[in-house]
Amino acid sequence: MRPAREGSLVSELVDALGAKGKLTIAEAADAVLAAGYKSKSKDFGNIVSMTLSKDKRFRRVRRGVYALKG
């Protein structure tokens, strides 16, 4: 797994989840956008959902809620 780029979606998600502990997909998407991440996606929540479910740095707490692994 390659390291996250500064300002990438993954690094912004790591920062948001590190600060809050666990977040829903919608809360994570809002936190990333509030932190200044730019996206032109019409369904940004789906992008966040796919990223959280596929990246090994995140774990699913329950349906629609994710936290940092470890």
Q: What is the structure's pLDDT at 24?
A: 97
Name the residue ranges covered by the structural domains of the chain: 9-68
In terms of Cβ atoms closer than 10 Å to its own Cβ (0-12, 13-18, 19+), residue 51 is buried
The pLDDT tens digits for 43-54 are 999 999 999 999
The pLDDT tens digits for 19-35 are 899 999 999 999 999 99
Q: What is the structure's pLDDT at 70?
A: 81
